[in-house]
Structure 1
Amino acid sequence: MADFTFEQDTQIFRDRDALTEDYTPNTLVGRDDELEEFHAALQPVINDENPSNIFLYGKSGVGKTAATRYLLTQLQDDVQEVTGVSVTVVEVNCDGLNTSYQTAIEIVNQLRPHEDQIASTGYPQSKVYQYLWEELDACDGTVLIVLDEVDHLNDDSILYQLTRARDNGNISDVNLGIIGISNDLTFRENLSSKVRSSLCERVVSFSAYDARQLRQVLKQREEVAFYDDTLSEDVIPLCAAHGARESGDARRALDLLLMAGDLARKNHDEMIREEHVNRGKEEIEKEIIAEGISDLSEHARVLLRTLMNMTTENATPARTQEIIPIYRKICEETGKDPVSVRSIRDNLAALSQLGITSRNEVNKGRSGGKFAKHELVYEVETVRSALASIED
């Protein structure tokens, strides 16, 4: 029987946590323009002036949350050196909260001691907001409320209530500012007109990282996360290149570097090399696909198998009308009743929305009309392995 004794190793990772999402570096690289703009928007706080409402926009993994934590940590440190100025930061991730009511309760509970928390249900909305105003007014100086993934909220009343709190006489002794973080570039357009007029926000847009910037990010984390001479020269450029191709997502690049390190540790290798990165990429893609297809319908998976077969036969990108007969043949072979053409189109759209397949519109003009062509985003073997893991 194998020996499964646990012993600490000192071969690969010096501080593995430096590659995780919760880690905030001492300095933020690759975001100089965004940080400068964000810093200027936060300047009123240290002057004990009413803070600006600030909204950060950009795709996932471009450094919005990291920049927020970095600058707010710096702000709180610097405020301690200024007499008569104080700042309280409340950070709320709106993913999973859904409503303004739940968000207000979360803010109240973050401002209260643990033994004085309120339940997530059972209170009239007016009572929850009364608690909120009491807790905010009990704070000194400035309170900055960070609403990460704010676009996940189903309603925008919390934004209106917070921005109008002083004008409505709900707070009097505290300066209040909102920092909203959103992956949805159209989020503001979907707000009600009264909320848009009340926000008067400063907007900071975060562009995607390019490969050069991602190399800076990864190099910075390498120095903290790994022992010296642990990475071969091609590892950082390769991870950065993959991240740049994934819409400039630093999180994906860091996850890939972390996975490569884990694989090297698992194999007891002394150095992380290109093969660890390539295998790590396959593992991450398999996990992404498996998570995406786990809740898909049976026929969406059949369509995925259809595209796998067509890819093997070099028959993709393929139009829907080319996919349908092969899909129906697979249904016949497996004893399944095929769904309607409309359902086939809906399932193909679901696969595209998950990023497992791509859907490209083709316009042939008056003679050929418009149609869509579908193909896999990932390698066939990666998709096949993910499907097998779900079905097992």
Structure 2
Amino acid sequence: MPSFRKQTDIIENDMVLGEDWVPEDLPEREAELSQMYEALSPATRGFTPDNMFLYGKAGQGKTAATRYALNDLQLFFEDEMDEDLTPVYVSCNELTSSYQVTGQLLVELDEDITERPNGHAPDILYSRLFGHLDEIGGTIVIVFDEIDAIGDDDQILYQIPRAHSNGKLEEAKVSFVGISNDFSFRDNLSPKVKDTLYDYVIDFPSYDSQQLRDILKRRAEIALADDVLDDGVIELCSAYAAKDEGSARQAINHLYKASKMAQTDGDHVVTTDHVETAHDILKRNHVMEGIRGLTPQNKYVLTAVTLLEVREETPARTGEVYPVYREIAESVGSEPLVQRRMRDHLQELSLHGQIALTSQSGGVKGGTYYVAELNTGLEATITVLSEIDEAMHEVAEDIRAIADMKGML
């Protein structure tokens, strides 16, 4: 049994293995940082920095590199400049419009504003925003993390670069950094926004296995006690992350979870067995997080694809998924959608990563069509569907029985 009294001293600094910790060195991102420094360099001469868009999959160091560069620029300002640099960080994860982003900016800028303003005309909100920015003055760099959440409502990206020329800003020199996992976001910006932006577009490619190992070794040296990692631990954590998305965050999470498990259990060394167990838990949690927010219809469609998976009938065309989906929806007392609407849900699940949709050629008949297959771990998906939705429990357990019989779990 775990106990607080028998915990060992494996982890010396939890913060180093946390998401907000900024390393003193980012050697794997030297090329990207060079471009960022170039974009920010006008600020060192008293001019407005250039806007930047940073693209790359999750866990590729985009946010860490941004904080690193802005921290360094702030030190330069403190030593060399007669004005202040003010970085402002806004997570756009749950902000779906420029109006909401503007309101959140006001919350970040004014300690007296505790909730996003609502019910005001957009012009009034922008006027308040630029008024606050001018009050702060100096150079201001606004970081929009996960900026793609605003979709095609990109007015904020038009307003900020044109604020000076439109007479809305007089004192402050304001630019922004847009961070996104969606490589198509900038391409889908409105023409007037594209015409306004003279920006840097910086791509953050996925880390390879060696880079992930180097990142973990540096973190482990600071975060963990000496000689607490068994042979192969760093390599296995890195391999799991490289096999998936090449995400440093995934690799670090594996090391942190494994280390916490060993420490809580009173073990003196973190082993590859700890990493294996941590991987299973993290994989299940990742699947649960993705499925938890799905609509009931999305869950029925995902369950249908999962059932086809254990029947070994995937990849499956829409017409093959539909009767299975319809039977599942009816079995839980829900009115099934028409096939066209079900196809829309397949596309949504593809965007969220639960299933993979692949385009296929129609052969001699011509044309193309899509086939669907499960894109998450089978056992984790069945378990989450069984636990997260009471109505789906019996269906999910029936699927598990088939998978068990076929030796798929």
> Aligned in 2, Cα 1:133/1:331: closer, same or farther, shift over 3 Å?
closer
Cα distance in 1, alignment partners of residues 166 and 85 from structure 2: 22
Cα distance in 2, alignment partners of residues 214 and 3 from structure 1: 31
Cα distance in 1, alignment partners of residues 321 and 180 from structure 2: 37
Query: What's the counterpart of residue 202 of structure 1?
Result: 200
Question: Is the CA contact (8 Å cut-off) linking 2:359 and 2:369 kept in structure 1?
Answer: yes
Cα distance in 2, alignment partners of residues 23 and 184 from structure 1: 24
Selected match of 2:118 from 117, 121, 126: 121
Question: Is the CA contact (8 Å cut-off) linking 1:61 and 1:252 kept in structure 2?
Answer: yes
Selected match of 2:171 from 150, 173, 183: 173
Selected match of 1:59 from 40, 57, 60: 57
Query: What's the counterpart of residue 250 of structure 2?
Result: 252
Query: What's the counterpart of residue 132 of structure 1?
Result: 129
Question: Is the CA contact (8 Å cut-off) linking 2:232 and 2:272 kept in structure 1?
Answer: yes
Question: Is the CA contact (8 Å cut-off) linking 2:154 and 2:190 kept in structure 1?
Answer: yes
Cα distance in 2, alignment partners of residues 268 and 105 from structure 1: 48
Query: Following TM superposition, by how much is the alpha carbon of 1:200 offset from its aligned partner in structure 2, in angstroms?
Result: 0.9
Selected match of 2:77 from 54, 76, 79: 79
Q: Deviations over 1:279-302 (max 9, x none)?
A: 222212212222222344556545
Worse-superposed segment, 280-289 or 96-105:
96-105
> Aligned in 2, Cα 1:73/1:366: closer, same or farther, shift over 3 Å?
same
Cα distance in 1, alignment partners of residues 115 and 309 from structure 2: 55
Question: Is the CA contact (8 Å cut-off) linking 1:156 and 1:195 kept in structure 2?
Answer: yes
Does structure 1 residue 148 correspond to structure 2 residue 149? no
Cα distance in 1, alignment partners of residues 320 and 166 from structure 2: 61
Query: What's the counterpart of residue 219 of structure 2?
Result: 221
Tell me the secondary structure at the aligned position of residue 356 of structure 2. strand
The residue type equivalent to 1:282 in the other structure is D
Query: Following TM superposition, by how much is the alpha carbon of 1:117 offset from its aligned partner in structure 2, in angstroms?
Result: 6.1
> Aligned in 2, Cα 1:103/1:297: closer, same or farther, shift over 3 Å?
closer
> Aligned in 2, Cα 1:380/1:193: closer, same or farther, shift over 3 Å?
closer
Please, what TM-score do these two structures have when normalized by structure 1?
A: 0.87
The residue type equivalent to 1:128 in the other structure is L
The residue type equivalent to 1:213 in the other structure is Q
The residue type equivalent to 2:372 in the other structure is H
Query: What's the counterpart of residue 274 of structure 1?
Result: 272
Query: Following TM superposition, by how much is the alpha carbon of 1:343 offset from its aligned partner in structure 2, in angstroms?
Result: 4.8
Cα distance in 2, alignment partners of residues 311 and 117 from structure 1: 48
Tell me the secondary structure at the aligned position of residue 200 of structure 1. coil
> Aligned in 2, Cα 1:316/1:133: closer, same or farther, shift over 3 Å?
closer
Please, what TM-score do these two structures have when normalized by structure 2?
A: 0.84
> Aligned in 2, Cα 1:8/1:360: closer, same or farther, shift over 3 Å?
same
Query: Following TM superposition, by how much is the alpha carbon of 1:346 offset from its aligned partner in structure 2, in angstroms?
Result: 4.0
Worse-superposed segment, 28-37 or 93-102:
93-102
Question: Is the CA contact (8 Å cut-off) linking 1:290 and 1:389 kept in structure 2?
Answer: no
The residue type equivalent to 1:237 in the other structure is E
Query: Following TM superposition, by how much is the alpha carbon of 1:381 offset from its aligned partner in structure 2, in angstroms?
Result: 2.1
Query: Following TM superposition, by how much is the alpha carbon of 1:10 offset from its aligned partner in structure 2, in angstroms?
Result: 4.4
Question: How many pairs does the alignment contain?
Answer: 389
Q: Deviations over 1:74-103 (max 9, x none)?
A: 111122111424311111122223332332
In the alignment, structure 2 segments of 5+ residues that lack a partner are 391-409
Tell me the secondary structure at the aligned position of residue 65 of structure 1. helix
Tell me the secondary structure at the aligned position of residue 204 of structure 1. strand
Q: Deviations over 1:126-159 (max 9, x none)?
A: 3333322222223343111112222222522222
Within 5 Å, give how 1:26-65 maps onto structure 2.
Answer: 26-65=24-63
Tell me the secondary structure at the aligned position of residue 166 of structure 1. coil
Q: Aligned-pair RMSD on alpha carbons?
A: 3.0
* Identity across matched positions, percent: 36
Query: Following TM superposition, by how much is the alpha carbon of 1:188 offset from its aligned partner in structure 2, in angstroms?
Result: 2.1
Query: Following TM superposition, by how much is the alpha carbon of 1:116 offset from its aligned partner in structure 2, in angstroms?
Result: 6.1
Cα distance in 2, alignment partners of residues 68 and 311 from structure 1: 41
Question: Is the CA contact (8 Å cut-off) linking 2:88 and 2:141 kept in structure 1?
Answer: yes
Does structure 1 residue 382 correspond to structure 2 residue 380? yes
Question: Is the CA contact (8 Å cut-off) linking 2:6 and 2:266 kept in structure 1?
Answer: no
Tell me the secondary structure at the aligned position of residue 353 of structure 1. helix
Cα distance in 1, alignment partners of residues 298 and 163 from structure 2: 48
In the alignment, structure 1 segments of 5+ residues that lack a partner are none
Worse-superposed segment, 191-200 or 30-39:
191-200
Q: Deviations over 1:262-286 (max 9, x none)?
A: 3223433222222222222221221
The residue type equivalent to 1:105 in the other structure is G
Worse-superposed segment, 213-222 or 311-320:
311-320
> Aligned in 2, Cα 1:119/1:52: closer, same or farther, shift over 3 Å?
closer
Within 5 Å, give how 1:211-360 maps onto structure 2.
Answer: 211-296=209-294, 298=296, 300-323=298-321, 340-360=338-358
Worse-superposed segment, 362-371 or 211-220:
362-371
